Structure 1
């Protein structure tokens, strides 16, 4: 079978099983994303090992392609989450998001480090394990909140704001740990912390300025271009460029860039609705299902468990869940959130997703953590990613807390 036909079959299978599992999950009273994540795990090396079937002779190419399409899927998903965000409401929860993110970084960092030291791991490796636990992948929570109709609730807005801040804090901690390890080992220390902070500030300042004053008139101008859907095509281009700029220049995750553009585009309500409507079809019909399934396709659960100690792994998984709930939840509590609302915010920060795997991969490549520890991080990521939609569904059974909406023109 020709390579492009193998691609067609793989994508057809992934999208079919994703939509079928999502529909079954909703029938069972769970968010569709839970079914998509679970079927991805089953379709990977854990059970069916889809990408290694005999008919697929281009296994390495298929792995790379699915992973790249998945990365585009999460960029578009967070673009949509930004378009769904109410900027006025986000301003109202800014302080809560900042303190919640701080608690959601410090407590996992301390717990992961402490547990690792107790099990006899070296200092640098222990600190790096704690650093991996600070990660948050809000894409899973964002999709679940969208399904539950709670993305624009006070808790949903706080989760999204805290996730962006968490991303910045996590990158700073990661950079510091890698730099210290490199210096101690006599290797390259990487960028100095002051430069990373400066690049972050410049990126966010530039992204906000461009998103507010350049993007809207540019998209309005594109309306008069000849051809089919020129304005939507330009919006896609800008979303991708913001994602690239975030990671390559701003030192933060690519999804932070696309999310930032989406938030800024909400300032023009006509543009927001047009882009949101068309992007939803493209993202949810093709890219986003690939992203959710791909998380499981890369995971070999039995191997990961076999390579890691059950006791240590259990403590890390428990810590990864509880420290986010407690740290982020307690952080927002003084800002008018009751205990149930605080718990929802904490649960929304639990999922580690692709962010934790990226950080763990950096640790493995730089020699800070070993292969067995990386396997533990894979298990932790899978558990937190799978459990977040279930916990959010349970936590929002009584509905979220609404803030006064900004009147749309």
Structure 2
């Protein structure tokens, strides 16, 4: 019963905080993380991690990644393939290299430094979409390129994360399976994923519509989500990776919108808030002042690497400087994808507890700054400064 009381408190407070954060134009996920920090061991010590919270947050990650896959519009990526790929590659490569090297200068081991670079290669386009919608730029060439690049960014980030987890297992992590066997199992998994996207998911979703059971399509989608998460875990990948590709598979069926309407209330009503609160519960502020230089430097680099990498990729594809500024700033927000990557890496021992809190703080700061930078870029696009 104590967990139910804790869960009730988490849901009530996160709803309240999210309401005010949305009203102030700040991403609500940041408010939910702050709830975990304030109520958790870092400040008040009212809530601590328990086995049930761990289970709920794990389901939260899986559902959130499924929704991310569900929202990945592959047709948009195909339409703007060349500029989107250039923006995505530039916006992933520069953070991995620059932030990885910067981490090493701060004394981190090379593998941990590489993983920090991977965390900041992620993009959370949902925050940028809200700003683009405010300026009626969703259907513009800049807005469409940002959306297409975000799809490529998500897929690329998931694949890189998969490789890192495999390498960690191969270096003597929790797995005793040989690296060649792990790679072969994962190759079979990704081959099966293609079959799922191309044939199996459309057939199963069509079959579910003919079943005489309550919410059959949503239940079938949940089976695909959890089933792929389980298979991914079986081949030494994160369950979130499998859920992401299950979401992409369902997104390519006619049931896409119905499933999105079913999953979003389910995820955001219970599991996803627990995930973000848990991110705050893991954080510790004991050494915040000692880490201040690291946090400030990495926050600046988090913004600049996306701005220059993605913006430069756009300019290479023929966009002018103002449009490149809009596209680069549209890719700065890290949000959910970076938080998920950090959490998965922390659990897979790719990131030590010593730096976990600092990295989360940088993700939060970059995410807060992103909409302000994008608004500035959009205003300059419509009212260019002349010299």
CA 1:142–1:155 in 2, change beyond 3 Å: closer, same or farther?
closer
Q: Is the 8 A contact 2:65 2:243 kept in 1?
A: yes
CA distance in 2, matches of 1:44, 1:293: 9
CA distance in 1, matches of 2:183, 2:316: 28
CA 1:144–1:37 in 2, change beyond 3 Å: closer, same or farther?
farther
Secondary structure of 2:47's partner?
helix
Deviation for aligned residue 1:39: 2.5
Question: With structure 2 as the length reference, what TM-score do the two structures score?
Answer: 0.79
Paired positions, count: 367
Structure 2 residue aligned with 1:218: 204
The superposition leaves residues 258-282 of structure 1 with CA deviations (integer Å, 9 ceiling, x where unpaired) of 232223323333x112211111221
CA distance in 1, matches of 2:229, 2:315: 32
CA distance in 2, matches of 1:206, 1:260: 11
Q: Is the 8 A contact 1:99 1:332 kept in 2?
A: yes
Structure 2 residue aligned with 1:323: 305
Kindly report which structure 2 residues correspond to 1:83-122, keeping only aligned pairs within 5 A, or say none.
Answer: 83-119=70-106, 121=107
CA 1:191–1:331 in 2, change beyond 3 Å: closer, same or farther?
farther
Question: With structure 1 as the length reference, what TM-score do the two structures score?
Answer: 0.75
CA distance in 2, matches of 1:244, 1:358: 15
Structure 2 residue aligned with 1:248: 234
The superposition leaves residues 193-213 of structure 1 with CA deviations (integer Å, 9 ceiling, x where unpaired) of x66665555433321321331
How much is the aligned-residue C-alpha RMSD, in angstroms? 3.6
CA distance in 1, matches of 2:362, 2:167: 27
Q: Which residue among 152, 173, 179 is the counterpart of 1:161?
A: 152
CA distance in 2, matches of 1:94, 1:16: 43
Q: Which residue among 6, 31, 34 is the counterpart of 2:2?
A: 6
Deviates more, 1:323-332 or 1:153-162: 323-332
Q: Which residue among 259, 264, 281 is the counterpart of 1:275?
A: 259
Structure 2 residue aligned with 1:59: none
Deviates more, 1:385-394 or 1:222-231: 385-394
CA distance in 1, matches of 2:51, 2:340: 15
Deviation for aligned residue 1:284: 1.7
CA 1:160–1:279 in 2, change beyond 3 Å: closer, same or farther?
same
Q: Is the 8 A contact 1:128 1:363 kept in 2?
A: no
CA 1:345–1:206 in 2, change beyond 3 Å: closer, same or farther?
farther
Structure 1 residue aligned with 2:359: 380
Q: Is the 8 A contact 1:348 1:388 kept in 2?
A: yes
CA distance in 1, matches of 2:326, 2:237: 28
Secondary structure of 1:47's partner?
coil
Structure 2 residue aligned with 1:82: 69
The superposition leaves residues 295-322 of structure 1 with CA deviations (integer Å, 9 ceiling, x where unpaired) of 112111x22426x554445434443443
Structure 2 regions of 5+ residues with no counterpart?
382-387
CA distance in 1, matches of 2:169, 2:41: 31
